[in-house]
Amino acid sequence: MAAVGADLDSMVAAPSRGRVFWIRFVDNVARRKWWFVLPVLMVGGLGARQIQQSTPVYESTAVLSAAWNPLVTAPDIRGVTTEYEDVAADTAGRALYERVLTDRFMRDVAERAGFGDAGGDTFLLQLIRGSLYIRSDGDRLVTVSAAWNDPVVAQAITDATVSEFGEYLAETVANDNLQAAEFHRLVAEDARAAVDAAQAEYDAYRATLPDLILDDVSSTAERAQLRRLADELERAANELAEAQASVDASVIAARQAQVQATRAIQVIDEPTLPTQPLGGLRSDVVVLIGFVVLGILIAIGAALVTTLLGKSIVCPEQLLAYEGVSRVTVVGDVGGTSAGAGSGGDHGHPSTPPRPAADPDREGVPA
Amino acid sequence: MTAVKWGRRARSASSADPDTDGLVDPDALPGHLGQTHAPVGLQRSLRNLLDQYQLHVHPRPPGSIAVASALSGEGTTPVSQALARLLAAEFGASVCWIDGGWLDPVRQRTWDPSMVDLARMLRDQSALESAFRQAPDLPHLTSLRPGPVARANRHALAESDEFGQLLTILADEFDHVVLDIPPLLGNAEGLPLLRRSDAFLLVVRFRTASEGQIGRALDLARPVENLGVLLTDYRPAAPTSVTRWIRS
């Protein structure tokens, strides 16, 4: 093996430690290249196995249109700019998201989606909640997506979420009017009772009088009493009519609010049954590349650590770093050990020297 | 020890038929210079080292050069033999190669006990003269391989004045003396030989000794001038183009 002194002639004295490190690093990687390729192959194999074993996930998406948020009364803004006002899609999406956070809403969704009674299964509710994804697109569109390893279930969850939200909106916006209707119904019942009482009193007094024509009643007091009871009856009847009218008005208002709510947030795209799982080849390639990169990072880390821990002489520059050493030359196999014969030929074929015999005097030589 | 005339007398004595003086055939001894064919690469590297020394330090290589290593098995023997051969062949100098194996407990186990030990050499001039061996192809090249020495006597012998006088005489008689001494770490007996030299050449085997061991070996040899460091068995795995780019 020819000497490589020519390279050393161009070396400068006191080489930098960084340069020496990178020479050692490159030598370490080249010498143990298969050991460093191994983690890349292993981690890449893990990635491929992960891809192979991963369950395909299907996503079903519904798109809603939010004209305004029926839950929020439109502010009366006059004479000022409305730069910071939330758009309808944001408020509607936020309202839906807040509902999804409640277990009551998720129980209804789970029941409607076909999971049965999931009231006590908080883990299932959490799974379903985690499968939902809500986002607003622009000013008016709200996208609701559900991902599941079964396409039918994914569609059912999306559909159940949208439906339950619609019912929630309808109930919420009509709640005040429904409560008002209930109130007026109670008032109407009281008024009916008052009418019945007045009627009964009138009939009772009328029954005490002889069978006379009213104009022939001899006593003015009796005539006044009869008129007073009639007025009472009429007044009670009027109150009853008013209460009835209020009930009707409240019910109409509730229905009107519900209709407006359905118009405020409408389903544009019904949740469809997904036919293709998420990801695909591109996603698999990205995952595989990610694993391979991880393996490369592990290999680089291992190479750096082994280089840092290695203290043997692997390049002439390491010897030049010692004080008093200004000339270093290299040669291949010189043949033999200090205990044996030189075996190198003139043609310079390197021969592997025999391993030195165990030297008890060497024991205890610090490394 | 009686002052004697060495050099030509010693060389002429060693050129006699070794079979007639009762010693073991030197050709059968491992490491005999006559049997050592230094690889071309090794010769080239040593020549490069000496050229750099002559260019930057002194036009003439040092008189006595110790070839040492931090650990055993680094290849100091073939390197020292090649250095001696190079000095004799290309510089035309008279060179004496001295084997320091008598200080190395490992090598002593493989030696022939009939060899003349150093203590006897220092007492008996004829024994010393008979211990010299001349290289058959290089008349200027002579080797001296003392036999085994008892462990208890090694250090004292290495530090003795008689041995120092022997080295002095050899340095006067020969243009260059090349000493192959035992590893510096774990074996202190080689240090006296090293410190009696004008310069030392450190032999380091690729990917064997650690940086700390090399540092300690250099610290032990510090008073002596460093001729250079020879990195042997150099087989980098990295592509040359990459390392060249890093170095640039």
pLDDT tens-digit profile of B94-148?
A: 999 998 877 776 655 566 666 677 777 777 777 777 778 888 888 888 888 887 7
Q: Cα B235 to chain center, whole Å?
A: 25
Judged by a CB distance cut-off of 8 A, whether residue B188 touches chain A is: no
User: In sequence order, what are the residues at sequence separation of 6 or more whose Cβ sits closer than 8 angstroms to the Cβ of residue B95?
Assistant: B84, B85, B87, B88, B140, B141, B142, B174, B175, B176, B177, B178
Cβ within 8 Å of A, B 94-153:
101, 104-107, 109-110
Contacts of B232 in chain A (CB under 8 A): 330-334
Which helix (H) or strand (E) is B95 found in, with range? strand B95-99
Cross-chain CB nearest to B228 (options A19, A26, A328): A328
How far away is chain A from the Cα of B185, in angstroms, using its nearest Cα? 6
Which residues in chain A have their CB less than 8 angstroms from residue B49's CB? Answer: 327, 329
Q: Poorest-confidence range of A114-128, A185-199, B46-60? A: A114-128
Residue with tokens 């118009």: A263
ipTM above 0.90, yes or no: no
CB contact under 8 A, B246 and A31: no
Q: Does A3 touch chain B (CB under 8 A)?
A: yes
According to the model, what pLDDT value does residue A78 have?
57
pLDDT band at B150 (very low <50, low <70, confident <90, very high): confident
Do residues B72 and B216 make contact, with C-beta atoms less than 8 angstroms apart?
Answer: no
A13 touches chain B (CB under 8 A): no
Disruptive mutation site among B106, B108, B110, B179 for chain A (greatest number of A CBs within 10 Å) = B106
For residue B117, the 8-state DSSP code is: B
Starting at the edge strand that comes first in sequence, how are the strands of the sheet with B176-180 ordered? A328-330, B225-232, B199-205, B64-69, B176-180, B95-99, B141-144, B132-134
* Token pair of B133 as six digits: 């061996």
Question: Are the C-beta atoms of residues B65 and B179 closer than 8 Å to each other?
Answer: yes
């007996």: which residue's tokens? Answer: B189
**Smallest CA–CA separation between B238 and chain A, in Å?**
5
**By CA distance, what is A31's nearest residue in B?**
B237
Of A209-218, B18-27, B174-183, minimum mean pLDDT range: B18-27
CB contacts, 8 Å: B247 with chain A = 7, 10-11, 15, 19, 23, 317
| Helix (H), strand (E) at residue A52 | helix A33-53
What are the tens digits of pLDDT across the range A78-104? 555 555 556 778 888 888 899 999 989
User: Distance between CA B84 and CA B67 in Å, rounded?
Assistant: 10
Mutate to test the interface with A, among B33, B46, B71, B72 (most CBs of A within 10 A): B72
Whether residues A325 and B218 touch (CB distance < 8 A) is answered with yes
For residue A126, the number of C-alpha atoms closer than 13 Å in the C-beta half-sphere is: 4
Map residue A286 onto helix, strand or coil.
Answer: helix
| Distance in angstroms (rounded) separating the CA atoms of residues A283 and B128 | 85
Global confidence as pTM: 0.59
For residue B115, give the amino acid letter.
M
Q: What is the mean pLDDT of chain B?
A: 79
What distances in angstroms separate CA B165 from CA B2, B7, B122, B169, B171, one per listed residue? 10, 15, 10, 6, 10
Q: Is the pLDDT of residue A180 over 50?
A: yes
Core vs surface per residue A227-266: b (16+ CB within 10 A) or e? eebeebbeebbebbeebbebbeebbebbeebbebbeebbe
Contact of B56 with chain A, judged by CB distance below 8 Å, is answered with: yes
Integer Cα distance of A54 and A283 in angstroms: 12
Residue A10's SS3 state is coil
Percent of chain B with pLDDT over 90: 29
Q: Where do the H-state alpha helices sit in B91-210?
A: 105-108, 118-123, 125-131, 151-159, 161-173, 190-195
Predicted local distance difference test score (pLDDT) of residue B68: 93
Nearest to B143 by CA among B220, B88, B211: B88
**For A363, nearest residue in chain B (alpha carbons):** B186
**What is the spatial order of strands in the sheet that A265-269 belongs to?**
A132-137, A141-148, A58-66, A265-269
